[in-house]
Amino acid sequence: MITDADFNAWVYTVTNDGRTLPSSFSQFGLDYYKFIPAFKNAFPDYANTIASDLEPGAIFNVYNSSNCK
């Protein structure tokens, strides 16, 4: 079972302890898929909005082409 501590540790890892955002999906690693079911269980209102078989590439395209860095 995935715990909140597991998720938080992963977030801190991929965000350089909360200082940066990942710039590509490859920085997420395969752990992204491990946390999808846990996220859906924790936030059922979002469960139908997440396609577990798709990479979250769109968010990187938006972030990397914006001036919000």
Asked if the structure places residue 60 within a domain, the reply is yes
For residue 19, the model assigns a pLDDT of 92
Q: How far apart (Å, rounded) are the C-alpha atoms in residues 1 and 61?
A: 32
- Helical residues (DSSP H) of the chain, grouped into ranges: 4-14, 31-42, 57-64
Q: Is 41 domain-assigned?
A: yes
The parent domain of residue 57 ranges over 4-64
Q: What is the mean pLDDT of each run of 10 residues along the chain (69 residues)?
A: 85 89 77 83 83 73 74
Q: How many domains does the chain have?
A: 1
pLDDT number for residue 43: 84
- For residue 12, give Cα distances in angstroms to 8, 26, 40: 6, 16, 20
Q: What is the pLDDT of residue 5?
A: 86
Please indicate, yes or no, if residue 32 is contained in any of the structural domains: yes
In a domain, 14, yes or no: yes
pLDDT of res. 69 = 58
